[in-house]
Chains A and B, each alone.
Chain A
Amino acid sequence: MENSPASKHLLEIRDLRIEGQSGEEWLEIVKGVSLTLDRGQIIGLIGESGAGKSTIGLAAMGFARPGCRISEGEILFDGVDLRGLQRKERRSLRGVRIAYVAQSAAASFNPAHRLIDQFSEIPVEHGISTKSEADADAIDLFTRLKMPFPDIIGLRYPHQVSGGQLQRAMTAMALSCRPDLIIFDEPTTALDVTTQIEVLATIRDIVEQFNTAAVYITHDLAVVAQMADKIIVLRYGEMIEEADTRIMLSDPKEDYTKSLWAVRSFKKTTEPPAPEPVPLLRVEHVTAGYGKELVLKDISFDIHRGQTVAVVGESGSGKSTAARVITGLLPPTQGAVFFDGKALPADYRERSKEQLRQAQMIYQMPDTAVNPRHRIRDIIGRPLSFYLGLSGEKHEQRVRELLNMIELEPDLFIDRYPGELSGGQKQRVCIARALAAEPQFIICDEVTSALDQLVAEGILKLLDRLQREFNLAFMFITHDLATVRAIADRVVVMLRGEIVEQGVKDTVFSPPHHEYTELLLSSVPEMDPDWLDNLLKRRVGSADLGGSDLIR
C-alpha cells in the first residue's frame, strides 16, 4: 500500500470529524471518533437518534450524506485512506469489499424486480461473476441464511415475502461479493421480536462463516449485547465510552452509559384502583375485518377506570384493528363495544360529541399525528374550543396549563410548529391534545416505539403520572414487552386476530404460559450477552413457533 499510515486493522478510523450544513453554516455532528475493527469482529455503535451513529456508519464506507462533509480524520480500510481515493475508486469498493444493510429492507429493495435479480446486480455489474453464477450463489446464501424454499424464494418480488425474510435477503445481497466489512444500520428495528431473533442469529452466523468484520448500529442495548464484541457509546457525535461488551455491560463507567443501562428499570409502582362492577370499556365478542378477510375473531376484554391494559402481539395480530373498532373507524361485523355500560354506536360518525370526547387516541408516529401546518397552540387548543367551548383568556390559560403538565415550557413552545420539535416533544404534544378533551379513556397505539429509549421512558413516566392524577384508563397497544412490564396492569396477548391469553400482568408473565406467550417472552432480548446463545440452544429441537415468518 502506498499510503504511509499503514494499519494492521481491517478498518481504522482516526479522529473522524464530520460537519453538517445547517442553513448557511457548518456544524460539527461527529466530533473526533476513533475506532479499530479486525476481521471476524463486530463492533456495536449505540446511542440515541442524533448521536451520529449512522453518519459514522456511512463514513466507514468513505461516504457522507448530502449536506454533510467529512472535515477531518482518516478512514483506513485495509491500510488505504478512503478519503484520499477518487470517487470511482471508492465506488468500486462499495458493495464489493464494503457492504451496507439498511434499516428498512422494504424501502431498500426495488419493488419492481425479483429478489434474485437484485441480488446478482452488483456482482454482475462489477464483473465478479456471471448472472448464472450469481444466481447459484444466491441460492447457496439463501440456504445458509435459513430462508424457506431457498431454491425459489428468489423468484419472488419484495412484497411477496415477510419483513424478516426481506431483511435476510438484504443481508444475502450484502454478502453477494463476499465483502470484508458489512455495516448494519439498525437491521432489526422494524421487525417483531420473534423475527428479530432469526435475523440476529443469521447475522452472527455469517460473520463467523465468512470471517467478515461488521459494524452494528442500533439503539437497542439488549440487541447490541448479543451481537458485538466491543461497544462504543455515542452522544451528540462524541464517544462517551468504549469497552468490550462484557465489561461495558457489567461495569459501565460514564453516567450517560449508566442512564442508558437503567432505562429498562422503570416500573410502575402504584396499584390500580379496585375495579368497579361496570367496566369503563367492554369489548364484547367483536369480530371485524376488511372485506372478506377477518382480522379480529370473537374478541372480548374489559378495561376498568384507572387501569392500563396492554394489548400485545406481533404485527398482523389485530392489535391496531381492535383500536379501530373501539374508536369506531371500523364497525365490527359482530359484537359491540360498551362504554360505561352503554353500547357505543359502531360507526364513529354516529357517536355523540360527548362519546367521542371520552375516548382519545395517541398515535405511534408523532410526526404524522399532528398537522405540520398548525401551531402547538392550535393543536392543543382545538379540543378545548371544540368540546369544552373555551375561548379567549381561558383558552390560552388552559393551553399553558396543559403544556406545563407535559413538561414543556409554555413560552418556548406555544407558538412553534411541530416541525421545530423533536420526536419526543411531538409525542408529548399529542398527549396534551388527548388530555385537552378531558377523556376517561386513552388508546395508546405503540406510542413509544418510534422514540429513543430515554425519551420513551420519559413518555411512560409522564403517562403513568397522568393516569394517577386523572384516574385515566389506558389501552396500551405494543409489541414491546419491556414496555408492558413497565406500565401494564392487565395484559391481553393476541395472535392472528384471536386472544390467546389475558389476565393480570403477573399471572400472564409468570409460568405456566400459553405457548405463544412463552415464545414472545423468551424472544425479548436481555442484557445478558449469552442470552441469544442459550436461547438458540434451548430452541434447537423444539418445534419452531415463529408464526410470522411462514411463507405467504
Chain B
Amino acid sequence: MNEPVTKVLGDSADAMPPPPRAGKWDIAKRELRKAPWSAKFGLLVIALYVLAALFAPFLTPFGESEIVGESFMPWDATFILGTDNLGRDMLTRLLYGARNTVGIAFITTCVAFLIGGTGGMLAAILGGWTDQVLSRVVDVLMAIPQLIFALLLLTIFGTSIPVLIVIIAVLDSTRVFRLTRAVSQNVVVTDFVESARLRGESLGWISFREVLPNILPPLVAEFGLRFCFVFLLIAGLSFLGLGLQPPTADWGSMVRDNATLITYGDITPLLPAGAIALLTVGVNFVVDWFLHKTSGLRDGK
C-alpha cells in the first residue's frame, strides 16, 4: 500500500500506518451477501429447525405424547400429517422430535468437543508421555466399530438420556481428539507459543489463549460435520430401540414405529427420515462454505 504517510515518525521506514479496516459486522454482512445459494439454503434450514425446536409447544395444540385420535389416521385438517401407531399427532411429534433429537445431538457434540478438544490440545502441547497415553487410548477406542460399541455400552449402562449423551460423546471425541491434536501440533511449534512458554505462562493460557484461537476454523467446520454424524447415530440407535426411549418423540424411533405404513403406500413414516436428511444436507452446505472461506481455497478463476 502506498497511501501518503499521514504522520512521520522519525526517519524509520516502518512509519507507514496500516490501511483502514472494515468492522467485524460489516465483514460478516458482506460475506453473508456473497454466500452461495447452497450456504444460504443451509442457514435457512438450520434456522427453521432451531425455531421449531425452541417454539414446539406454541406451534401445535397437542402434547408431545398425548393420544389424540385413532392410530394411523390419514392426513386431514386437524391432524395435518395424520397420527402415528398409537394415535398421537404426527406433526406435533415431528416438532418435538427436533427439540429432542437435534438438542441432544447438539449437547452431545459439545461434550465430545470439550473432551476431544481439550485432550487433543494437551497431547500436542505437552507431548511425550501424555501424548502417547492419550493417543493410544484413542486408538483402542477407534479400533472398535462405533455403532456396535455404542450398542454394547448402552445395553450395559441402560438407556437414559445422560448415559446416551456421555457414551456417544466419549466415542465421538476420539475423532475430535485426532483432528485437534493434528492442527494444534502445527501451532505448538510456532515461535509465539515458544515465547509464551518462556514467559512462564500456564498450560491453560497456552491452550486457550495461544493455541485455540488459531485452530478454531477447522474445529468449527468439524463441529458441523460431527454434529451430523452424532445426530445420525442417535437416530440410528433410536431406530434400533436403544436411543431415546418412548414416549419421548424422536425421529429415529418415529420411523421404526410407523414403518408398517410404508407397505400401504403411505409416505408418512418417511417424513422424520426426510427431516433427518434435510438437516444433514443443510449443515453440510454451511460447513462447506465456511471451510471454503477459512481455508483460503479460491474458486478456480
| A→B interface (CB under 8 Å) | 48, 66, 236, 327-329, 348, 351, 353, 356, 361, 363, 365, 368-374, 382-383, 386-387, 407-409, 412-413, 416, 420-422, 424-425, 428, 433, 437, 452, 454-455, 457-458, 461-462
B70 contacts A by Cβ under 8 Å: no
The minimal Cβ–Cβ distance linking A521 to chain B, given in whole angstroms, is: 28
Task: Beyond A329-B194, A420-B18, A462-B12, list 12 extra A-B contacts (CB 8 Å).
Answer: A48-B13, A356-B198, A371-B192, A373-B214, A386-B199, A407-B9, A407-B12, A408-B9, A412-B18, A413-B18, A420-B21, A458-B12
Which residues in A have their C-beta under 8 angstroms from that of B213? 371, 373-374
Cβ of A386 and Cβ of B200 under 8 Å apart?
Answer: yes
A407 to B213 alpha-carbon distance, docked (Å): 29
Chain B interface mostly helix, strand, loop or mixed?
A: loop
Q: List 5 A-B contacts (CB under 8 A).
A: A66-B298, A361-B195, A407-B14, A408-B14, A424-B13
Which residues in A have their C-beta under 8 angstroms from that of B210? 371
Cβ of A455 and Cβ of B14 under 8 Å apart?
Answer: yes
Contact with A along B15-46 (1 / 0, CB 8 A): 11111010000000000000000000000000
Cβ of A327 and Cβ of B18 under 8 Å apart?
Answer: no
The minimal Cβ–Cβ distance linking A33 to chain B, given in whole angstroms, is: 16
Contacts A363-B191, A368-B190, A416-B18: A348 and B13 contacting too (C-beta < 8 A)?
A: no
A371 to B11 alpha-carbon distance, docked (Å): 28
Which residues in B have their C-beta under 8 angstroms from that of A462? 12
Cβ of B12 and Cβ of A371 under 8 Å apart?
Answer: no
Cβ of A422 and Cβ of B199 under 8 Å apart?
Answer: no
A370 to B191 alpha-carbon distance, docked (Å): 7
Shortest Cβ distance from B7 into A: residue: A409
Cβ of A363 and Cβ of B195 under 8 Å apart?
Answer: yes
Contacts A409-B9, A412-B18, A424-B14: A348 and B191 contacting too (C-beta < 8 A)?
A: no
Find residues 172-221 in chain B having any chain A CB closer than 8 Å to their own CB. Answer: 190-192, 194-195, 197-201, 209-210, 213-214
Shortest Cβ distance from A237 into B: residue: B2
The minimal Cβ–Cβ distance linking A381 to chain B, given in whole angstroms, is: 12
> Which of B2, B7, B298 is packed against the most chain A CB atoms within 10 Å?
B2
Which residues in B have their C-beta under 8 angstroms from that of A455? 13-14
Interface size class for chain B?
A: 20 to 34
Query: Top 8 closest A-B pairs, CB basis?
Result: A373-B213, A369-B191, A424-B14, A420-B18, A458-B12, A363-B191, A412-B17, A454-B13
Which residues in A have their C-beta under 8 angstroms from that of B209? 371, 374
Cβ of A236 and Cβ of B2 under 8 Å apart?
Answer: yes
Shortest Cβ distance from A351 into B: residue: B200
B10 contacts A by Cβ under 8 Å: yes
Which residues in A have their C-beta under 8 angstroms from that of B190? 368-369
Number of A-B residue pairs having CB atoms within 8 Å of each other in the complex: 89
Cβ of A353 and Cβ of B2 under 8 Å apart?
Answer: no
Which residues in A have their C-beta under 8 angstroms from that of B16? 422, 425
Which residues in A have their C-beta under 8 angstroms from that of B7? 409, 412
Which residues in B have their C-beta under 8 angstroms from that of A329? 194, 197-198
Shortest Cβ distance from A372 into B: residue: B214
Cβ of B198 and Cβ of A369 under 8 Å apart?
Answer: no
The one of B19, B21, B192, B198 in contact with A327, judged by C-beta atoms closer than 8 angstroms, is B198
Cβ of B191 and Cβ of A368 under 8 Å apart?
Answer: yes
Contacts A236-B2, A368-B191, A369-B195: A386 and B201 contacting too (C-beta < 8 A)?
A: yes
Contacts A236-B2, A373-B214: A420 and B19 contacting too (C-beta < 8 A)?
A: yes
| B→A interface (CB under 8 Å) | 2, 7, 9-19, 21, 190-192, 194-195, 197-201, 209-210, 213-214, 298, 301
Shortest Cβ distance from A378 into B: residue: B209
Which residues in B have their C-beta under 8 angstroms from that of A373? 213-214
Which residues in B have their C-beta under 8 angstroms from that of A361? 195, 198
Which residues in A have their C-beta under 8 angstroms from that of B201? 386
Which residues in A have their C-beta under 8 angstroms from that of B192? 368-371
Shortest Cβ distance from A21 into B: residue: B301
> Which of B10, B14, B17, B19 is packed against the most chain A CB atoms within 10 Å?
B14
Which residues in B have their C-beta under 8 angstroms from that of A370? 192
Cβ of B214 and Cβ of A371 under 8 Å apart?
Answer: yes
Shortest Cβ distance from A419 into B: residue: B18
Which residues in A have their C-beta under 8 angstroms from that of B17? 409, 412-413
The minimal Cβ–Cβ distance linking A74 to chain B, given in whole angstroms, is: 25
Cβ of B13 and Cβ of A458 under 8 Å apart?
Answer: yes
Shortest Cβ distance from B300 into A: residue: A66
The minimal Cβ–Cβ distance linking A92 to chain B, given in whole angstroms, is: 22
> Which of B12, B21, B190, B301 is packed against the most chain A CB atoms within 10 Å?
B12
Which residues in A have their C-beta under 8 angstroms from that of B200? 348, 351, 353, 356, 386
A290 to B142 alpha-carbon distance, docked (Å): 34
The minimal Cβ–Cβ distance linking B113 to chain A, given in whole angstroms, is: 19
A382 to B210 alpha-carbon distance, docked (Å): 12
Which residues in B have their C-beta under 8 angstroms from that of A387? 199
Which residues in A have their C-beta under 8 angstroms from that of B19? 420
Cβ of B214 and Cβ of A348 under 8 Å apart?
Answer: no
> Which of B2, B194, B200 is packed against the most chain A CB atoms within 10 Å?
B200
Contacts A371-B213, A373-B214: A407 and B18 contacting too (C-beta < 8 A)?
A: no
The minimal Cβ–Cβ distance linking B209 to chain A, given in whole angstroms, is: 8
Which residues in A have their C-beta under 8 angstroms from that of B15? 407
Which residues in A have their C-beta under 8 angstroms from that of B198? 327-329, 348, 356, 361
The minimal Cβ–Cβ distance linking B41 to chain A, given in whole angstroms, is: 25
Shortest Cβ distance from A418 into B: residue: B192
The minimal Cβ–Cβ distance linking A181 to chain B, given in whole angstroms, is: 28
Shortest Cβ distance from B192 into A: residue: A371
Shortest Cβ distance from A24 into B: residue: B30
Shortest Cβ distance from A22 into B: residue: B1
Which residues in B have their C-beta under 8 angstroms from that of A437? 199
The minimal Cβ–Cβ distance linking A537 to chain B, given in whole angstroms, is: 37
The minimal Cβ–Cβ distance linking B277 to chain A, given in whole angstroms, is: 36
The minimal Cβ–Cβ distance linking A388 to chain B, given in whole angstroms, is: 12
A249 to B103 alpha-carbon distance, docked (Å): 73
Cβ of B9 and Cβ of A365 under 8 Å apart?
Answer: no
The minimal Cβ–Cβ distance linking A250 to chain B, given in whole angstroms, is: 25
> Which of B9, B10, B13, B298 is packed against the most chain A CB atoms within 10 Å?
B13
Which residues in B have their C-beta under 8 angstroms from that of A48? 13
The minimal Cβ–Cβ distance linking A429 to chain B, given in whole angstroms, is: 10
The minimal Cβ–Cβ distance linking B216 to chain A, given in whole angstroms, is: 8
A369 to B190 alpha-carbon distance, docked (Å): 7
